[in-house]
Amino acid sequence: TEYGRRVTENLTRDLVRAGLTIVSGLALGIDGIAHNATLDAEGSTIAVLGTGIDDTTIYPREHFNLAKRILADGGALITEQPPKTPSLKQNFPARNRIMAGLTLGTLVVEAAADSGSLITAQFALEQNREVFAVPGDIFSPQSTGANSLIKRGAKLTNSAADILDEFNVSRTQPALALKIFKPRTEEEKTIWKILSNEPLHIDKISKMARLETAAVASVLGIMEIEDAVRDVGGKNYIKL
């Protein structure tokens, strides 16, 4: 979900700035977001695969270029499977024990009741690692697993500080300079004040700003280029 994306990007960025390496599974969804956020923050990431490591079997195929980017930026791809091993369902739960074992702790951001990340969390407990979970919407199926972990004793995580404090990790690297958006025109100032972390449709923005929709679209386009806002789908915008 968009909530999961935003949480993952924010937590990953702050953990990377503290000097931590991010380990994940290259899967679609949270895994890919975590890898990309790490690389965007100039950090190091490891992808643990359930397939062989070669051009024809890296899975999912949608993340083949991400796998190449991980290697190009000094990260690693690892697997216990022989070369040319294709995507087999039984191999993915097994690789989760490797992800758990490589880390100080496992963080679950979003997880349905049958999510593979719950398997990773169980392996982490068995290997005496810490388990962290981000609380989610009680009405969302994607939050069922994480909320259940918290109920059973996982450490509730609202920020990277909750994880860093658990391990007494100091910020060994200077924080990267944050790019702060500063509205330049009156239109940008007006729209910036209207936007929040909750998605708002362009028509609603136009009405609240008392501007033509075309003008609002132009301003939002510029703000999106500057990473100040994001279209989360259907012309619904959030402030970053």
Whether omega before 83 lies within 30 degrees of 0, making that bond cis, reads no
- Tell me the pLDDT tens digit for each residue of 128-144: 999 999 999 899 999 99
93 pLDDT exceeds 80?
Answer: yes
Burial (CB < 10 A; 0-12, 13-18, 19+), residue 183, is middle
Are the C-beta atoms of 22 and 12 separated by less than 8 Å?
yes
For 186-239, CATH number? Answer: 1.10.10.10
Strand partners, 106: 131
Q: Where are the alpha helices (DSSP H) in the chain?
A: 2-17, 30-40, 64-72, 91-102, 116-126, 144-151, 160-166, 186-194, 202-209, 213-225
- Tell me the pLDDT tens digit for each residue of 211-227: 999 999 989 988 888 88
C-alpha 97/C-alpha 94 separation (Å) is 6
Domain ranges of the chain: 2-166, 186-239
Are the C-beta atoms of 134 and 7 separated by less than 8 Å?
yes
Query: Angle formed by the axes of helices 91-102 and 116-126, to 10°?
Result: 50
CATH number of 2-166, picked from 3.40.50.2000, 3.30.1280.10, 3.40.50.450, 3.10.310.10: 3.40.50.450
- Tell me the pLDDT tens digit for each residue of 167-210: 988 655 544 444 568 888 999 999 999 998 889 999 999 999 99
- The answer for residues whose C-beta is within 8 angstroms of residue 17's C-beta and 6 or more apart is 41, 43, 171, 173, 175, 176
Q: Where are the alpha helices (DSSP H) in 79-153?
A: 91-102, 116-126, 144-151
pLDDT at 180: 67
Could you give the maximum distance between any two Cα atoms of the chain, in Å?
A: 62
Are the C-beta atoms of 229 and 220 separated by less than 8 Å?
yes
